[in-house]
């Protein structure tokens, strides 16, 4: 399968790659690294029901893990309490929407949940690992005067003034850190040290052997070892996808490594 795009592999080997519960359709998640040099546009994403109303298969709930953050870095997450929808629309039209946003400071290793319907924006000075439903549905509400299309009617329909968005407190769990456990995705952080007591992540230790697992190297370097194959070298900000049917594999640090494990979940699973 060397050289094949992921979409083709999923189409040909869906259940083996994704696991039976995720075997229909596209790869369930998108994973990106964002490093804005200026404020990104103010956006909102639809939920599954609204997306399907307009002919798309799914909405877009996402989360951000801060790989790095400069002093003063912040994101906007939601509309200030008590602001009615009509004031939001008028603020878009008179270029004062920024004043109605809840701005949240961000530091390294913050985990931020952004459920569908949350008005949001990302400021400069932060590097984010974004995990999201596999959807490109984005409604741009405001763009600081830049000459790009806005989607005001759809934005107002998608917007929820009360959402579950916010920072998620990490939880220590069996030698690693659970970062987030929500419908659509779960993320865990592993601090691996070749000389330490947690030398690797392996298939027999994972509770998610029934589904695809995504491993992102947030820091350091690691080797993905699979029985009968050459090790795969992974450096910082590189990613590996371990199929659901894989066995006999282990992810081992070359010295030390911070690894983020990402697994898909069903919409009602957490």
User: Which residues, in sequence order, are bridge partners of residue 50?
Assistant: none
Position 82 in a domain: yes
124 and 157 inside one domain: yes
120 annotated binding-site participant: yes
Q: Residue 81 CA to chain centroid, in angstroms?
A: 26
Residue 195 lies in a domain: yes
Instruction: Name the catalytic one among 58, 140, 189, 211.
Output: 140
| More confident call, 25 vs 43 | 43
User: Does one domain contain both 51 and 175?
Assistant: no
Q: Taking 90 as the threshold, does the pLDDT of residue 195 lie above it?
A: no
Residue 41 and residue 147 in one domain: yes
Residue linked to tokens 């290793």 = 109
Is 151 labeled as ligand-binding? Answer: no
As a whole-number percent, the residues of the chain with pLDDT over 90 amount to 74
Q: Give the Cβ contact number of residue 207 at 10 Å.
A: 8
- 226 and 256 belong to one structural domain: yes
Max Cα separation, the chain?
63
Tell me what pLDDT residue 7 has.
87
pLDDT averaged over every residue in the chain? 92
Please indicate, yes or no, if residue 60 is contained in any of the structural domains. Answer: yes
pTM of the model: 0.94
Q: Is 140 a catalytic residue?
A: yes
The Cα-based distances of 59 to 13, 33, 42, 54, 209 in angstroms read 25, 20, 17, 11, 26
pLDDT in tens, 115-158: 999 999 999 999 999 999 999 999 999 999 898 999 999 999 99
Q: How many domains does the chain have?
A: 2
Within a domain: 12: no
State whether 155 and 46 are in the same domain: yes
Q: Is 70 exceeded by the pLDDT of residue 198? A: no
CATH number of the domain to which 246 belongs: 2.60.120.10
Tell me, yes or no, whether 15 lies in a domain.
no
For residues 209 and 77, what is the distance between their CA atoms, to the nearest angstrom? 34
Q: Is there a single domain that holds both residue 101 and residue 191?
A: no
> Does 21 map to a domain?
no
At which of 117, 142, 167 does a domain end? 167
- Residue 104 in domain: yes
Given the structure tokens 């916010």, which residue do they identify?
A: 166
209 lies in the same domain as 224:
yes
pLDDT digits (tens, 9 = 90+) for 206-253: 688 889 999 999 999 999 988 888 899 999 999 999 999 988 888 889
Q: Which of 167, 194, 215 is the last residue of a domain?
A: 167
Residues in the chain: 270
pLDDT over threshold 90, residue 79:
yes
Residue 161 shares a structural domain with residue 190: no
Query: Domain boundary residue among 113, 143, 167?
Result: 167
Under the banding of pLDDT at 50, 70 and 90, the label for residue 269 is low
Domain that residue 247 falls in: 171-264
pLDDT at 196 over 70: no
CB 141 within 8 A of CB 119: yes
Q: Is 173 annotated as a binding residue?
A: no
């Amino acid at each position: 399968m060397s050289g094949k795009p992921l979409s083709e592999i999923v189409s040909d080997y869906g259940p083996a790659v994704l696991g039976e519960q995720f075997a229909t359709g596209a790869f369930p998640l998108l994973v990106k690294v964002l490093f804005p040099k200026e404020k990104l546009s103010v956006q909102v994403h639809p939920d599954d029901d609204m997306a399907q109303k307009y002919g798309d298969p799914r909405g877009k709930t996402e989360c951000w893990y801060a790989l790095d953050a400069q002093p003063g870095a912040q994101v906007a997450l939601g509309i200030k309490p008590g602001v009615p929808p009509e004031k939001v629309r008028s603020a878009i039209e008179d270029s004062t929407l920024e004043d109605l946003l809840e701005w949240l400071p961000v530091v390294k290793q913050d985990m931020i949940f952004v459920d569908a319907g949350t008005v949001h924006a990302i400021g400069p000075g932060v590097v984010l690992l974004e995990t999201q439903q596999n959807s490109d549905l984005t409604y741009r509400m405001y763009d600081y005067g830049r000459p790009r299309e806005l989607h005001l009617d759809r934005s107002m329909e998608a917007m929820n003034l009360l959402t579950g968005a916010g920072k998620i407190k990490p939880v220590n769990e069996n030698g690693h850190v659970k970062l987030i456990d929500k419908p659509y995705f779960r993320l865990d952080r592993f601090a691996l040290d070749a000389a330490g007591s947690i030398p690797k992540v392996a298939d027999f230790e994972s509770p998610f052997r029934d589904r695809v697992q995504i491993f992102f190297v947030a820091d350091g370097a690691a080797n993905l070892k699979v029985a009968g194959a050459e090790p795969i070298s992974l450096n910082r900000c590189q990613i590996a996808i371990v199929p659901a049917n894989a066995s006999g594999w282990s992810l081992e640090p070359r010295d030390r490594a911070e690894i983020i494990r990402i697994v898909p979940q069903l919409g009602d699973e957490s």
